[in-house]
Chain A
Amino acid sequence: MSRLAHLIKKEFTQVRRDPAVLRLILIAPIMQLVLFGYAASNDVRNVPVAICDQDNSADSRQLAEEISQSRYFHLTPMAGDPRALEGLLLRGTVQIGLHVPRDFHRTLERGQTAQVGMYVDGTDSNNATVAAAYLTGLLRARGVSLAERSARAAGRRGVTMPGIRSEPRVWYNQDLKSVNFMVPGVFAMILLVLTVNLASLAIVRERETGTLEQLLVTPLRARELLIGKTVPFALMAMFDAGIIFLLARGWFHVPFRGSMALLFGMALVFLLHSLGLGLVISALARTQQEAQLTAFMVVMPNILLSGFMYPVENMPVVIQYVTYLIPLRYFLQIVRGIFLRGVGVEVLWPQMAMLVGFGVVTFAIGALAFRKRL
């Protein structure tokens, strides 16, 4: 037992002296949280918009004013030729170009539906869709009141026809939804990234630096070495999970409605899988570099296919089948379920069963590969 304790203590001493690993453990989770909590959120903010106002009426100017005051858009005013909009879009100066035609005010005054041209740069389709939906919503809201005001001014009360055609979106203005979705995701993802990366170096590092030779001539048993190599990583990952949990609650105010014991218990089960994955990589790789590149190659598709960023339901059907082989997918459903919906075993048992199955099998393969490579 003391042998094992010292092996674990040694790993921690080494981690303390390795700036690269320290960065991975201490800074990476916070960076991911900030990145996915703020920067990579699906909410649009400060989308550059240019307006070509050919009407130049009180109504059109007020519309521009409304847009510029919204925190979702950043307005670049421009006059004159609507064809110039295309150039701005092409150069990427703006993401949305709005063309207000000459008869905007008059059409509204007549109580008819005014047409506003909206040109959207669809390169970043996700962002474009959201931004366009936001702007449409805004136009519609403004359009209604503009039409009412114009109609009132013209002495025709009671006209409530929407003045500007729009396509309403349900998720408009659901400002914080994205954070609530992303932060629990980071909780799951960081466990995978951290442990696969650390465990993938477990043997290959000792082999490359020659220290494995010394370790093997001691009476240490393979089982002890396996535990001594994986427990420190599991502890570090759980430490990070704790940090993320605290930040999620305290900083991002993500609601937590479920059981904490269940959340961290399932995190341990997931670690069986991710550590096993890392051990397999470590056993197959001949150099640390090879191990790290392989870890990257494994982690990337895991994250993309798990539904971490894009819902699995939006993927092509064939790919959806593939996602059933990604344990992170089940873990994400469990984590988000516990965080946001407050559900427990009664609802999440199918995902939990899958996760336990994957955890046990992957770790067994990892342990076997580990023994073989010694």
Chain B
Amino acid sequence: MSGDLAVQVRGLRKAFEDVVAVDGLDLEVGTGEIMGLVGPDGAGKTTTLRMLCGILLPDAGEVRVAGHDAVRDPEEVKARIGYVPQRFSLHRDLTVNENIAYLADLYTVPPGTWTARREELLEITQMAPFRDRLAAALSGGMRQKLSLICALIHRPQVLLLDEPTTGVDPLSRRDFWQILYDLPRQGVTMLLCTPYMDEAARCNRVAFLHQGQILRQDTPAALRESIHSRIFEVRCRPQHLAREMLKRLPLVEGVEVFGDRLHVTLRPEAAPAEAWRALREAGVGELAPREVEPSLEDVFVAMGGEVENRKSEVGNGEDGESGGTGVSPILPSGEPPPPRTGETPVPPGGK
């Protein structure tokens, strides 16, 4: 297997009783890369990470992490990885320093080595003043930062993070990412599960997981460009009425609420003016449609629709319109993004 791949997964499969959690998953992460794993709850993200850690045995497939087989030599893999689980997994009745020392010793890091590392990590995460505080008395954000410090104390080659910032305040999230950004320079590879699209956008590559399979993986930019539907931001009143109206229009693929605005996804071939006219006729006021760059969130939503369509295709046995979007399930990263119009936002009021 290739030397510059930090994570290499082939045909990974895991079923729990009658539920298939991971179903033939292939994944490759290059050394020093930040890979984001996104997908709805139950998509198999945590199960995948646990198999990469060597703490869960796969039913089938190959897993190589940091140059070792996670199934045959889990101890070798464990010594070279750091893992930040979704749930806080450190001892609440130990202090920050004690937790770090405990894990450093479990990884048999020589004391002379890790103390300097600890100071450095405490400094970057702004955790130094809390070193003698019990973990139980830390806020959610500080706990996650502590988990990260502990996962990095033995300088792992690969860092696996399972929704590390879920429920963490923005400031702590910023501190958290402060460390993550620095890691690729040190040759650390990261695989990150996240429900936050802004975090996914910071990854080098993002893989969309659905029902234990990767639907598509690419750079965030390429993923955004793969959306052929046009997305408009509309501010209208009354919003709920506009939303109901738009949902019923055949040229509309989806409507999402973003605060006081709606994100309206139109089919690629649709004429936007038609939609706005329909709205005005229904008596919806204050229209200010503006075409926007699709965000990863839009990609995620569109992918959800795609999955739905594919399901109905299977049901009807006919080629649905979703085929027309021209999106292959997995878009190779080498392929140039398809040309598209309307790259710049349409100024407010434009139709």
Interface residues of A (CB under 8 A from B): 2-3, 5-7, 10, 13-14, 17-18, 209-221
In the complex with contacts A3-B108, A216-B55, A218-B106, A211-B91 CB distance below 8 A = yes
User: Quick check: A214 and B92 within 8 Å, CB to CB?
Assistant: no
Complexed CA–CA distance, A215 and B92 (Å): 14
Q: For chain B, residues 95 to 142, give those with C-beta under 8 angstroms from any C-beta of chain A.
A: 98, 101-103, 105-108, 134
In the complex with contacts A13-B94, A209-B92, A211-B91, A6-B55 CB distance below 8 A = no
Complexed CA–CA distance, A217 and B80 (Å): 10
CB contacts (< 8 Å) of B78 on chain A: these are: 217-219
In the complex with contacts A3-B105, A18-B93, A214-B85 CB distance below 8 A = yes
CB contacts (< 8 Å) of B98 on chain A: these are: 10, 13
CB distance from A3 to the nearest CB of B (A): 6
Partner pick for A219 among B88, B102, B107, CB 8 A cutoff: B107
CB contacts (< 8 Å) of B186 on chain A: these are: none
User: Quick check: A6 and B105 within 8 Å, CB to CB?
Assistant: yes
CB distance from B291 to the nearest CB of A (A): 46
Complexed CA–CA distance, A17 and B55 (Å): 30
Q: Closest residue to A2 on the B side, CB-wise? A: B105
Partner pick for B94 among A10, A212, A215, A216, CB 8 A cutoff: A10
CB contacts (< 8 Å) of B94 on chain A: these are: 10, 13-14
For residue B83, CB closer than 8 A to chain A, the reply is: yes
Partner pick for A210 among B53, B81, B89, B102, CB 8 A cutoff: B89
For residue B87, CB closer than 8 A to chain A, the reply is: yes
In the complex with contacts A10-B94, A18-B93, A221-B75, A215-B106 CB distance below 8 A = yes
User: Quick check: A7 and B88 within 8 Å, CB to CB?
Assistant: no
CB distance from B114 to the nearest CB of A (A): 12
Partner pick for A218 among B88, B107, B134, CB 8 A cutoff: B107
Q: Closest residue to B79 on the A side, CB-wise? A: A219
Partner pick for A10 among B87, B102, B107, B134, CB 8 A cutoff: B102
User: Quick check: B75 and A219 within 8 Å, CB to CB?
Assistant: yes
CB contacts (< 8 Å) of B79 on chain A: these are: 219
For residue B188, CB closer than 8 A to chain A, the reply is: no
For residue B37, CB closer than 8 A to chain A, the reply is: no
User: Quick check: B107 and A214 within 8 Å, CB to CB?
Assistant: no
For residue B21, CB closer than 8 A to chain A, the reply is: no
A17, A212, A217: most-surrounded residue (chain B CB, <10 A): A217
CB distance from A208 to the nearest CB of B (A): 11
CB contacts (< 8 Å) of A221 on chain B: these are: 75
Partner pick for A214 among B54, B81, B90, B101, CB 8 A cutoff: B90
Complexed CA–CA distance, A10 and B89 (Å): 15
User: Quick check: A6 and B106 within 8 Å, CB to CB?
Assistant: yes
Q: Closest residue to B78 on the A side, CB-wise? A: A219
Complexed CA–CA distance, A215 and B94 (Å): 15
User: Quick check: A210 and B107 within 8 Å, CB to CB?
Assistant: no
Q: For chain B, residues 132 to 156, give those with C-beta under 8 angstroms from any C-beta of chain A.
A: 134, 150
CB contacts (< 8 Å) of A10 on chain B: these are: 91, 94, 98, 102
Complexed CA–CA distance, A211 and B102 (Å): 12
User: Quick check: A3 and B106 within 8 Å, CB to CB?
Assistant: yes
Complexed CA–CA distance, A219 and B103 (Å): 10
- Contacts A14-B94, A209-B92 known; list 18 others, CB within 8 Å: A3-B106, A6-B105, A6-B106, A10-B102, A14-B91, A17-B134, A210-B87, A213-B85, A213-B87, A213-B89, A214-B90, A214-B150, A217-B55, A217-B85, A218-B103, A218-B107, A219-B75, A219-B108
